[in-house]
Structure 1
Amino acid sequence: MDKATTTADTLELLHLNQIAIRAAIEEVSTWIRQRGSVNVHDNVMATLLTLDLNAGAIDSAIERLRE
C-alpha cells in the first residue's frame, strides 16, 4: 500500500469514530434535555456543528488522497 492509501484508510477510520462519538454525544444531550436542561442541550448541539463542518473537510481530504 502506498502512503496516500494508508493515510486515507486511517482518516476514514478516524472519521467513522468521530461520527460514532457525535451520535453518542447527541443521544446523551437529548437525554439531558428530556430531564429539563434545555440550555445544556442547545449548547451541545451548537458545538456539534463544528464536528459536522470538520466531517465535510475530512471527507474531502479522503477523496483527494484516493485520487
Structure 2
Amino acid sequence: MPNNSDSNIATADALTLLLHNQHALGAAIEEVTKWLSDNGEMTVAESALMAIETLDTNSKALTDAITRLRQS
C-alpha cells in the first residue's frame, strides 16, 4: 500500500489534470458564448456564462485542494 505522501502526490496529479480539463472546457464555452452573443442568442449566452462562473468557482476549490495535498 502506498504511503500517504505517495497517495497525496497521485491525487494532486489527478486533480491537476482535471483542473486543466476544466480550464479547456471553460475556454471552449467562452468561445461558444461569444458566438451566441454575436448571433443574438442572449438567453442561451447568459446560461453559458453561468456555466463559466460555476467552472471558475470550482477551479478555485480544486486549486486549493491541490495546494493542500502538495504541502502535506
TM bucket normalised to smaller: over 0.9
Runs of 4+ in 1 over 6 A off after TM superposition: none
Identity in percent: 43
- Hey, what does 1:58 align to over in structure 2? 62
- Hey, what does 1:13 align to over in structure 2? 17
What do the CA deviations read for 1:16-38 (whole angstroms, capped 9, x no partner)? 01000111011011111111111
- Long gaps (5+) in structure 2: none
| Residues paired across the two proteins, number | 67
Task: Give the alignment's Cα RMSD to 1 decimal.
Answer: 1.2
Once the two structures are TM-superposed, the CA of residue 5 in structure 1 deviates from its matched residue by: 0.4
SS in 2 for 1:60: helix
Once the two structures are TM-superposed, the CA of residue 62 in structure 1 deviates from its matched residue by: 0.1
Counterpart residue identity of residue 27, structure 1:
E
